[in-house]
Amino acid sequence: MKKVILAIDQGTTSSRVILFGFDGEVLKTFQREFACSYPKSGWVEQDANLIWDDVFELCTAAIAYAKKESYTIESIGIANQRETIVFFDKTTQRALAPSIVWQDRRTADICDKLNRSGYADLVKQRTGLVIDPYFSATKIAWGIQNDDLVRQALSANNLYVGTIDSWLLYKLSGGKMHATDSSNASRTMLFDIVKHRWCDELLSLFEVPREILPQVMNSIDDYGSTAEGLFDLCLPIRALIGDQQAATIGQGCLHKGDSKCTLGTGAFAMQNIGDSFSPNDNGWLTTILYSQNSSIVYATEGSVFSSGSTMQWLRDSLGIIDQTKDSEKIAASISNTGGVYLVPAFSGLAAPHWQANARAMLVGISGQTTKKEIIRAALEAVSYQCNDLFAGATPDELKVDGGMAANDWLLQHLADILQCRVVRPSNLEVTAWGAARCAASSQGSSIDSSDVTMSGEQFIPTMNPDERQQLLEGWHAAVNSCIQLNA
């Protein structure tokens, strides 16, 4: 019987369960899409109970398929959208309130106040992060202060709070495990990433009770097993890890200096910096890449909040494309945008600007502007934002993954703007594979040993330097206008 790993990849717009061979071969994928809700300007929510229902059904289908094919599932690894917060009742095991998604900006004013009060350095030194609504701490504080059911559960000592990985683990274990891993904990703005524990100073600052938070374990660890009777068999759970960290591992960025950029709902560049923590002063974050056997590997990360979500906006809100994949052909059909720039600050601007109150802008429109120029401008904005992230320190080679990495036109434009070689792996399932790789390594194999070939297509810069400079000058003018308008 073939031994396999079951990977759960719970993302912002879909949940997927993938069966992998130990060599990285994708044996079968099960997927279900779902939508966020936007009840107010800047608010982004999801139903965690529905997320669990989807994951449960997908796992059930995957287990049935494995049985039919005579596969032996050795363990489960979970990768998840980070920073999204779930409030749940430990007696009913149900989510109490809508999950507050990582893109949510409702706590921008709270973050502004904390920054003005001088807490930025404390947060950076303890967590490697900046004070921003992106992270979980102010989301948790907001829920405790503003949601009646959350407050009632807290008063009755029935409240648990966790990120999506913690929620899924709790449900999979039948309520036996309220735990998270250090890569996800490092995104809460409550976790000391050097001492590897919840930070008392920050818990006090944000008024978050320690007892509602999950136990923090290593990314690669023994998380128990699925509850008796949940599925046809009990399966060991051996890895939890945030999606961007999982993609970094899946891309094989396991040595100091290795870099990748995931082009998904947002765009996230991450570089392995080894086993020493150092706060970053260039707008990037310092975070935990993964932990194993009580040893920690760190990474720096640059974040862009809107990339794939911008294309969904063009499709779902404006209706100017039928499918997001159509953008590739449309962008290639015209030679330029005619001076049109889209600054997609739908959830504020992340690195290196960190402007929580910024809102999206479309500039440079003329009487000749059509939907083609707007669509191309949306794609170009991905490259420009990535260029802002690296700020002249672009690696010679950048590995890319995520849904938008299937767009050849975008990857060529990215190579032109970054002036570096862009490499797309032959296997784009790197996030799920990273989780599977972690789970597999818990059973004796080294995390950096794999027979998976990550080679793939390469995109080499061809753009004239003067054209590139002109495009970037127009982009920077558009971003500066966006920041000034929303200051």
pTM, entire model: 0.86
Question: What is the band of 73 on the pLDDT scale with cuts at 50, 70, 90?
Answer: very high
Domains observed in the chain: 2-244 (3.30.420.40)
Give the pLDDT confidence of 421-450 residue by residue, as tens digits. Answer: 999 988 778 899 999 999 998 765 555 555
Q: What is the pLDDT of residue 487?
A: 59
Structure tokens at 191: 């976790």
3-state SS, residue 263? strand
d(C-alpha 401, C-alpha 243), whole Å: 12
Question: What is the band of 264 on the pLDDT scale with cuts at 50, 70, 90?
Answer: confident
Task: Answer yes or no: are the C-beta atoms of 17 and 61 closer than 8 Å.
Answer: yes
| Block residue for tokens 């099960």 | 30
d(C-alpha 342, C-alpha 380), whole Å: 8
Task: Answer yes or no: are the C-beta atoms of 303 and 133 closer than 8 Å.
Answer: no
Give the pLDDT confidence of 123-159 residue by residue, as tens digits. Answer: 999 999 999 999 999 999 999 999 999 999 999 999 9
DSSP string, 44-74: -EE-HHHHHHHHHHHHHHHHHHHHHTTEEEE
State in Å, rounded, how far the first CA of the chain is from the last one: 61
**E strand segments, 197-276:** 197-198, 215-217, 237-242, 259-263, 267-274
Question: What is the band of 392 on the pLDDT scale with cuts at 50, 70, 90?
Answer: low
Q: Is the peptide bond before 39 cis (omega within 30 degrees of 0)?
A: no
Task: Give the per-residue SS3 of 151-204.
Answer: HHHHHCCCEEEEEHHHHHHHHHCCCCCCEEEHHHHCCCCCEECCCCEECHHHHH
d(C-alpha 315, C-alpha 39), whole Å: 20
Taking residues 318-338, report their average pLDDT: 91
Task: Answer yes or no: are the C-beta atoms of 318 and 352 closer than 8 Å.
Answer: no
Beta carbons within 8 Å of 96's beta carbon, 6+ residues apart: 87, 88, 89, 147, 149, 150, 153, 159
CA neighbor of 49 nearest in space, from 100, 101, 94, 102: 94
Could you tell me what percent of the chain has a pLDDT over 70? 97
Could you tell me what percent of the chain has a pLDDT over 90? 69
pLDDT at residue 323 tops 50: yes
Question: What is the band of 265 on the pLDDT scale with cuts at 50, 70, 90?
Answer: confident
Structure tokens at 15: 């949940």
Task: Answer yes or no: are the C-beta atoms of 124 and 196 closer than 8 Å.
Answer: no
d(C-alpha 132, C-alpha 113), whole Å: 11
